[in-house]
Amino acid sequence: MADPTVEQLEARVRARPLPRHVAIIMDGNGRWAETRGLPRVAGHREGSEAVRAVTRTARRVGLEALTLYAFSAENWARPDEEVGALMQLLADYLESERAEMMQNGIRLNAIGELDRLPGFVRERLDAARAETAGNDRMVLTLALSYGGRQELVHAARAAAAARGPALDADDLEAALWTRGLPELDLLVRTSGERRISNFLLWQCAYAELYFSEVLWPDFRDAALLEAIASFQARERRFGLTGAQVARPERG
Ligand code: FPP
């Protein structure tokens, strides 16, 4: 049988309960460029196009939250030229996407050690967050200078300062940078690597994991829809037995 078209995939995905919150480790930009004999930065540039396309698809199918790992705390150690190019791409993206975010009701959010970002990125980030603050169709979170362990240390300190040794899981969760976002349902990683790489460590507790062989710059609407369809075919048990879990949507 022929592979389903994007329209068929989208219709199938829309007919079943959607994940509320999808997060993506966007990996493979460098390899995408290197296999074409191009500088790594060319892979990041094409990766920005994939960000635009995937955000549009996520919004169209009706995800509530999309979280993208755009720059890790460890990425600062990459060559200066690559870090500089990534910061410029981010600034360009934040400037060029504001109008579309407004049109599509997308609220921009950011998590990570944002004060480490250069001023010209931070200014555009703050402007885009302020302009889109009233939007409520989907929240797009960029993880920037982000590390899951760093987030947990930050949250533990804040929760301990507020609650002392009596702090519990709810207190810690309320101090995470992701507070207020829906529970993470699906974590996607592209490019065939099967690691979490310090992303959303707490939030992954009951997320479904999906690993795609596709390099991030090639990850477009069909690839996202396939990831969502895979999620929809799974049974989530949250530590219970299969018999305990109601399965009304499975046929
Ligand atoms: C990982 O690929 C990707 C990154 C470190 C950066 C991700 C950045 C973008 C997708 C573009 C800019 C972001 C936005 C939001 C506009 P890699 O370089 O580690 O790839 P490799 O493993 O093949 O070397």
* Domains, the chain, with CATH or none: 19-145+181-193+203-231 (3.40.1180.10), 152-179 (no CATH)
Q: What is the 135 CA–ligand 1 centroid distance (Å)? A: 27
**CB of residue 124 inside a 6 A radius of ligand 1:** no
pLDDT in tens, the chain (251 residues): 788 899 999 999 999 999 999 999 999 999 999 999 999 999 999 999 999 999 999 999 999 999 999 999 999 999 999 999 999 999 999 999 999 999 999 999 999 999 999 999 999 999 999 999 999 999 999 999 999 999 999 999 999 999 999 999 999 999 999 999 999 999 999 999 999 999 999 999 999 999 999 999 999 999 999 999 999 999 888 889 888 887 655 44
Q: What is the 95 CA–ligand 1 centroid distance (Å)? A: 19
27 is a catalytic site residue: yes
**CB of residue 75 inside a 6 A radius of ligand 1:** yes
Measure the CA–CA gap between 168 and 121, rounded to whole angstroms: 35
Tokens of 61: 């199918």
**CB of residue 155 inside a 6 A radius of ligand 1:** no
What atom in ligand 1 is closest to the CA of residue 40?
A: 18
The reply, when asked if residue 31 is annotated as ligand binding, is yes
The string of DSSP letters for 77-128 reads GS-HHHHHHHHHHHHHHHHHSHHHHHHTTEEEEEES-GGGS-HHHHHHHHHH
Q: Which candidate in 3, 27, 92, 109 is catalytic?
A: 27
Q: What is the 183 CA–ligand 1 centroid distance (Å)? A: 25
Q: Give the model's pLDDT for residue 250.
A: 47
Q: Which candidate in 3, 75, 80, 136 is catalytic?
A: 75
104 is a catalytic site residue: no
Q: Give the model's pLDDT for residue 110.
A: 98
Q: Give the model's pLDDT for residue 251.
A: 40
The reply, when asked if residue 195 is annotated as ligand binding, is yes
**CB of residue 142 inside a 6 A radius of ligand 1:** yes
Measure the CA–CA gap between 91 and 88, rounded to whole angstroms: 5
